[in-house]
Structure 1
Amino acid sequence: MNVTTIESEVRTYCRNWPVEFERAAGSRMFDRDGRAYLDFFAGASALNYGHNHPALKRALISYLEQDGVTHSLDMLTVAKQEFLTEFAARVLGPRQLDYRVQFPGPTGTNAVEAALKLARKVTGRQSVVAFTGGFHGMSLGSLAVTGNASKRGGAGVPLGHTWRIPYDGFAGGEVSGLKLLDSMLSDSSSGMDLPAAVIVETVQGEGGVNVAGPVWLADLAELCRRRGILLIVDDIQMGCGRTGSFFSFESAGITPDIVCLSKSISGYGLPMALTLFRTELDVWQPGEHNGTFRGNNPAFVTATAALREFWADSTLEKQTAERGLRFEEVLGELAAQYPEHVSELRGRGLVWGLAFREPDLARQVAATAFAAGLLVETAGSNDEVVKLLPPLTSTDEELAEGLGILRESVRSVAEAY
């Protein structure tokens, strides 16, 4: 039987990469025939530390061999307590972040839903400000603050209680979203009610690797503070070191009221999500927001191992920043070589995007790269951006290899166009 005859038409990635993957290690995946593919997708940044990292794998296998608790809802377990201890010691404490930790469920959209619900509960207000290009998840509350038309179109019901304003750089930077928001809140005839919260990504991954500047983010935080609006940073794809620092907002010098984490927080690709918020915002009643799989203990185990392995010092952070500069240099040269096709280079740390003037070119480049053994995806409003998300643990040789394949793929497609 052809399995595609029973799997839903909703499937996506297997259409772009039509091979059966059998195993994975480090920065590479291998198909059933043993062919290796260099992975510059990394589970959409759920695998920041690569596939099956030995230290994390050992911790997980040991835990399972000892019959460790796997499912516990929000009961107290040794695995959960060890994770919270390490998270406080290695992440919150050094950054002087007085956050409570909520386990809202296993995925990023669960973290966003909890954040939105909490913001409304705390403030007693209903509307939320979101940004053009934003992506926050596929459940209804998260979709309401997501900009992508095709994703929103699948909801089947109206998606309301959201004001959408221009993101940093929208329309070529000709429209100031923050000035617009401040002006509308100042004018009692604007029709905009004071929102409960603003939700923002510091780098919009699915939106096309749109990077908000640190000054813009600082101005947004100041506006929220001055207006009494809660600031939610969705750090689901860009957190856990993707931009260098553990949280992507650190370079802007801001402290969000609420932070959403998922994807690489487990370190191993296991489902896990966190909603972090200032202690005084913890107004939940017991059981008021819950979920059956919010106690994924194997994920706690690998998350703890990842914190110990990668966040005991600043080595990974510095390495990612240095590699980001190298990516900027190499990709900048590539963009300059084909200005008639590449419109822009965007990125920070180890998330980068090449924006093409014709969306079909981006799709052709991704397909050509796949044929040459490199996994990259496309992003943006029209899939016009080739998006690079290599594991942070890739070797210098692997990064150079991937960039070489990408360079040759762009050359091949551009010269044939």
Structure 2
Amino acid sequence: MVSVPEKPRTMPFLHGFRRIIFEYQPLVDEILGCLGLQDPNRQESLESPSCVAEDNSQLLALSKILEREAHSPFYKEGVSYALLKVAELGLVPAAEILLRNGADIIFEDPVTYYTALHIAVLRNQPDMVELLVRRGADINRRDRIHLSSPLDLASEESERLPCLKRLLELGADVNAANKHGKTALLHALASSDGVQIHNTENIRLLLEGGADVKATTNNGDTVFTCVVFLLGDTVGGDPEEAKLIRRFCFQVTRLLMAHGADPSECPSYESLTYLCLKSFRLHFPLLRFLLESGASYNCSLHGPSCWSGFKVVFERLCAHLSESEEDGFSLDLLEKAERALDLMVASAQGVRLPGNFGIDPKGCRFHGEKIGSLFASIKQLECSPAPLKHLCRVYLRQHLRPWPVDAKIRALPLPDRLKRYLLLDQNPSTEEDL
């Protein structure tokens, strides 16, 4: 029997994080060591670069190591992985040396699959971002796991605002979308919670940089989707958190509308105006802002046949007053309903109601007479030519936009009686009330 010589035993194929440990970790350790750093995967984390000194002796030592190890089997991987580490700390001179000596600028972290550019953004290192982009890093490259671009990551938190500004200055595509249709603006909005993450300035910078407010994901999410979602979270939640969320939603909505976003489009469940009309008691300050800023009280695409603000308010009013006769609740609800109706009437020259729209006051358990009277007054406005004083009020209020209209009305050289007619409400809401 002829014996077959045994094949030499080889190390199984290694990839990802295991390759760092078994193949190029020693070179990485030596590179980081000469810079006075510790590898966070094996010892302590690199959280603060304040203790790191990049003097000439360290950089000279780094150059000597790279020259000596240039022909080692795992040199390319070692210097490329070291680039990720110095990018994290913003060590620009060290990064320049690594790049000049063969570091791969598109090398991915074997665990997160982020490149050095992604990591520099996450650690808010704008100077490192600029170096990498100028040395050839793809400024719009998306990571393989989350499909996030550097601009997406920079938009997430206010602390990364310097990187966001630098990326836009360097020519990042502000409207680039991932395969799901998600742009940096939609990413920034989806990253917000209104409580812990206040990235309003990031959103402002994206809008000023040309972000498209009409961007829509493949699933139909728009710039108002997250605002609608966050406002829904305020129902029955912690009062302090709800106040923070409402204020954040107001600030974001104000920014979006200033750049042409329409809060009254359909479908209704994606419409911010529809939500505020449906919950007018809870979100009245935001509803007032929307209507005084030019938002339509009907579907802005298809008119009242799609959804109507008047119908929504009357339906919610009847539903709530059929459940409770408690005086405080009823009076507050009726007052806010009247104010919402006045705002809608004063926002257009003529009242537009859906066809065959009507209510049965007898179907309301409480305050049916009051609701019937309100409805009759609205129907009368629809059927009759608008009086001159109404047309003048609409014209003046539209001319005084954007919000806040009330302060501008009070400054007009008019008699107090006319000012009261123009104001609609003697106790208007302010941003602080949101």
TM bracket (short chain): under 0.3
Normalising by structure 1, report the TM-score. Answer: 0.23
Q: Which has the higher helix share?
A: 2
Larger radius of gyration: 2
Query: Greater relative contact order: 1 or 2 (C-alpha under 8 angstroms, separation 6 or more)?
Result: 1
Relative to its length, the structure with more strand (as a share) is: 1
